[in-house]
Amino acid sequence: MRKLTYVFILVVSVLVLACNNQNRTSLSKSDMDNRESKVGVSDAQLEKLGITDPNHLSAASKRALQWPTDLGNDWFIEFGPLQPLKGDLAYEEGVVRRDPSAMIRENGKYYVWYSKSTGPTQGFGGDIENDKVFPWDRCDIWYATSEDGWTWKEEGLAVPRGEKGEYDDRSVFTVEVMKHEGMYYLCYQTVKSPYNVRVKNQIGLAWSNSPNGPWTKSKEPILSPADNGVWKGEEQNRFLVEKKGDFDSHKVHDPCILPYNGKFYLYYKGEQMGEEITFGGRQIRHGVAIADNPKGPYVKSPYNPISNSGHEICVWPYNGGIASLITTDGPEKNTIQWAADGINFEIMSVIPGVRAHAIGLNRDADTEKEPTEILRWGLSHIYNNGDYQSIMRFSSRRKTTHTAKGESK
C-alpha cells in the first residue's frame, strides 16, 4: 500500500512539474511576442497610438503597430444623403431603373446605362417561367443623357435580351461602360430562362463605335462561373451542396472592365454555391479576369479571390494602381482599398455610412487629383419599395478634421 502511495505522489509531482514548465513556456512565448512587436517601434509611434506600456501589448495594439507609419486621411470620406434626379430618371411608379453604369462624357453630355424592367416582383413561389422573380429579372439595358448630371433624358433601348434559347434570353442587367480607342464596350450580367435559385449567371459584352449604338452583342458569354461545385439533390435549394467549389462557382456578377497595364482587367463579384453567412454577413468576394483584347478571351487570375468582402464592383485607376470601394457584405465591408498591381488590395480607409449602392462613377473626373476625387458625385440606386427602384445622385466629401460645435478648427 505504501508503495502504491509513493507511486501516486511521484506521478502527481511529475504532472505538476510539467504543467508549471508549460506555463513558463507559454509566458516566455508571450513575452517573446511582445519583444518582437517592439522591434523597430519608435516612442513617437507609441505616443501617437496611445500605447501605455510597450511591455504589455494587446492584440489590438500589435495590429495598430503594423499599420503604415504614414497613415493619414487622404482616403477618408463621408457620403451625404442621396438626392433625387429630375427628368426621365425621376422615380416612376411601376418602373424599375437600377444599377447605373459609370458615366462618360461625350458630345457635351453625360451618358449612363442602366437596368430597366416594369411590373411588380412575384418571387420564386409561383410560375417562374412567366413570373418576375427579382426586380432585375426580365430587364433590358437602356440609356439616358444629361448636360448637368441632374436632369436626364431617357434615350431608349441599348441592349435587349436575347432570343429564346440564347444564354441571355431571360434578363440582361447591371451594366458597365468602357471607352477605349474610339470604341465603346458594355459588359453586363445575363440569365437564361428558367430563372430558378440554382441558375448560373454569366457575363456578356456588347460594343459599338458610338455611345448611341447600334450595339453588337457577343454570341457567347465572356465569363462564366467556375464549374467545380456540386449541388446536392434536385431540390431548388441553393444552400444544399456536396461540394462548394471556387468562390464564384454559382454566379459571376457586377462586371467592370478597366484598361490597365496594356491589358484589360475584368473585375467581378463572385457568389459561391452553398453561400454562407459569416461574421461579416454574406460570403461575397471579388475576382478579376484578364485579357489582351477588350472582347477577350478573359482568363481568371490564379490569385482569385482578390477581396474578402464586397458587393457591387466600384473600381478606378489611381497612382499607377487600382482603387476599390468595398461595400455591403463581408468582414472588410465599407472600406476603400488600393492595389499597386490591381490584384493585391490593402485597406486604405474605413468609411462610415456608405449610402450609395451600385455606384455609377463619374469617369470624367480627374482620378489623379486625389485618391477619392472620382467619388465626389455620381449615381446610385435606391429601393423605393420592395418592387421598384430608381436612380439617385450621391455626393461625398473628404473629412480631415473633427471639432465640436463652436470650436475653432
CA-nearest of 134, 133, 138, 146 to 168 is 138
Instruction: Among 43, 65, 87, give the residue marking a domain's end.
Output: 65
Neighbours of 54 (CB within 10 A): 16
Residue 27 pLDDT grade (very low, low, confident, very high; cuts 50, 70, 90): very low
**Does this model's pTM top 0.75?**
yes
| Whether the predicted pLDDT of 45 surpasses 60 | yes
68-90 confidence digits (pLDDT tens): 777 678 999 999 999 999 999 99
Q: What does the pLDDT read at residue 291?
A: 98
| Whether the predicted pLDDT of 5 surpasses 70 | no
Q: Are residues 86 and 53 in the same domain?
A: no
| Whether the predicted pLDDT of 33 surpasses 80 | no
Q: Are residues 42 and 105 in the same domain?
A: no
| Whether the predicted pLDDT of 9 surpasses 60 | no
Q: What does the pLDDT read at residue 82?
A: 98
Q: How many domains does the structure of the chain reveal?
A: 2
- Separation between Cα atoms, residue 338 and residue 3, nearest integer Å: 71
Q: What does the pLDDT read at residue 265?
A: 98
Q: Are residues 51 and 135 in the same domain?
A: no
161-176 confidence digits (pLDDT tens): 999 999 999 999 999 9
Q: What does the pLDDT read at residue 6?
A: 39
368-393 confidence digits (pLDDT tens): 999 999 999 999 999 999 999 999 99
Q: Are residues 288 and 168 in the same domain?
A: yes
Q: What does the pLDDT read at residue 401?
A: 83
Rounded percentage of the chain residues whose pLDDT exceeds 70: 89
3-state secondary structure of 151: strand
Q: Are residues 149 and 52 in the same domain?
A: no
130-145 confidence digits (pLDDT tens): 999 999 999 999 999 9
Cell of residue 289, nine digits: 479576369
Q: Are residues 56 and 140 in the same domain?
A: no
Q: With respect to residue 407, please indicate whether it lies within any of the assigned structural domains.
A: no
Q: Are residues 135 and 27 in the same domain?
A: no
Name residue 347's beta-bridge partners.
337
Mean pLDDT, range 186-212, rounded to an integer: 97
Q: With respect to residue 44, please indicate whether it lies within any of the assigned structural domains.
A: yes
CA-nearest of 155, 62, 224, 151 to 391 is 151
Q: What does the pLDDT read at residue 40?
A: 64
Rounded percentage of the chain residues whose pLDDT exceeds 90: 80
Q: Are residues 58 and 114 in the same domain?
A: no
| Whether the predicted pLDDT of 210 surpasses 90 | yes
Mean pLDDT, range 9-23, rounded to an integer: 38
Cell of residue 108, nine digits: 457635351
The domain of 390 spans: 77-398
Residue 4 pLDDT grade (very low, low, confident, very high; cuts 50, 70, 90): very low
| Whether the predicted pLDDT of 343 surpasses 70 | yes
Q: Are residues 260 and 317 in the same domain?
A: yes
282-307 confidence digits (pLDDT tens): 999 999 999 999 999 999 999 999 99
Q: Are residues 52 and 93 in the same domain?
A: no
Q: Are residues 55 and 99 in the same domain?
A: no
Of residues 40 and 166, which shows the higher confidence score? 166
- Separation between Cα atoms, residue 40 and residue 147, nearest integer Å: 55
Of residues 127 and 6, which shows the higher confidence score? 127
Question: Which value, to the nearest 10 degrees, does the dihedral of the CA atoms of residues 332, 371, 340, 100 take?
Answer: 70
Q: What does the pLDDT read at residue 409?
A: 67
CA-nearest of 289, 294, 320, 291 to 179 is 294
Provide the mean pLDDT of the chain: 90
Name residue 87's beta-bridge partners.
152
